[in-house]
A and B are shown apart, each in its own frame.
Chain A
Amino acid sequence: AQSVTQPDIHITVSEGASLELRCNYSYGATPYLFWYVQSPGQGLQLLLKYFSGDTLVQGIKGFEAEFKRSQSSFNLRKPSVHWSDAAEYFCAVDGGGNKLVFGAGTILRVKS
């Protein structure tokens, strides 16, 4: 069965610092991978997705993610974090049947 692991429950970074959120997945074939962001009391917004091709994908709000098959990872990065990036981030895999399997989420705190 497909699964997604986000090892970090909380991460705190200073405003302007770089960010990397980790995501590891378990799936036999090439997965479809997603990162979503959820601000407090809000719904889920798609940041970026990977299906095939270039393993470095660009998303909205200055985020990018890199698919590494050898490490079964799809880490999310941002070179300079803004206070408005504070939110919860979810990595997800669609392993078939149009069913998204989510990780447990990583809460990002930004300190000024």
Chain B
Amino acid sequence: DTAVSQTPKYLVTQMGNDKSIKCEQNLGHDTMYWYKQDSKKFLKIMFSYNNKELIINETVPNRFSPKSPDKAHLNLHINSLELGDSAVYFCASSRKDRPYGYTFGSGTRLTVV
């Protein structure tokens, strides 16, 4: 059973398009995240949600809009894709009360051409 699953695993799209990445966790965690890993492998948090409520928004362009329909799902929608959006996007989840560790999904490699 996959704990944190992301779809799709690979996404190739043209500049200007709108795309979504889906994430689901079956761990019963309260908090979910989106992290971005750039071409130099640097990982940085983008958003975190706690039980459907936005907690962290790290100065991400408003073309990026997370949506959490319930605490087990956190989707990422990206409008008007740009070349610089090419990266690997990781979803993660954790318990709210103590950071006992984050469980990461396997990542979505987004390539904008």
Residues of A within 8 A of B (CB): 32, 34, 36, 38, 42-46, 49, 51, 88, 90, 94, 97-102, 104-105
Check A32 against B99 for contact (C-beta < 8 Å). yes
Question: Hey, which chain B residues are within 8 Å of A34, CB to CB?
Answer: 101-102
Check A104 against B42 for contact (C-beta < 8 Å). yes
Among A38, A45, A51, A98, the residue within 8 A (CB) of B31 is A98
Question: Hey, which chain A residues are within 8 Å of B92, CB to CB?
Answer: 44
Check B45 against A44 for contact (C-beta < 8 Å). no
- 23 chain-A/chain-B pairs, Cβ below 8 angstroms: A34-B101, A34-B102, A36-B104, A42-B106, A43-B90, A44-B104, A46-B101, A46-B102, A51-B99, A51-B100, A88-B41, A98-B31, A98-B50, A98-B56, A98-B94, A99-B45, A99-B48, A100-B43, A100-B102, A102-B42, A104-B41, A105-B41, A105-B43
Among A51, A90, A98, the residue within 8 A (CB) of B55 is A98
Interface string of B21-63 (1 = CB under 8 A from A): 0000000000100010000111111001010000110000000
Give the distance to chain A from B100, nearest Cβ to Cβ, in Å.
Answer: 7
Interface size class of B (residues with CB under 8 A): 20 to 34
B20 within 8 A of A: no
Residues of B within 8 A of A (CB): 31, 35, 40-45, 48, 50, 55-56, 90, 92, 94, 96, 98-107
Check A44 against B48 for contact (C-beta < 8 Å). no
Question: Hey, which chain A residues are within 8 Å of B48, CB to CB?
Answer: 98-99
Considering the chains assembled together, what is the distance between the CA atoms of A43 and B53 in angstroms?
25
A contact face: mostly helix, strand, loop, or mixed: strand
Considering the chains assembled together, what is the distance between the CA atoms of A104 and B43 in angstroms?
8
Check A102 against B43 for contact (C-beta < 8 Å). yes
Question: Hey, which chain B residues are within 8 Å of A43, CB to CB?
Answer: 90, 104-107
Which residue of chain B has its CB nearest to the CB of A104?
A: B42
Check A104 against B40 for contact (C-beta < 8 Å). yes
Which residue of chain A has its CB nearest to the CB of B45?
A: A99
Give the distance to chain A from B39, nearest Cβ to Cβ, in Å.
Answer: 13
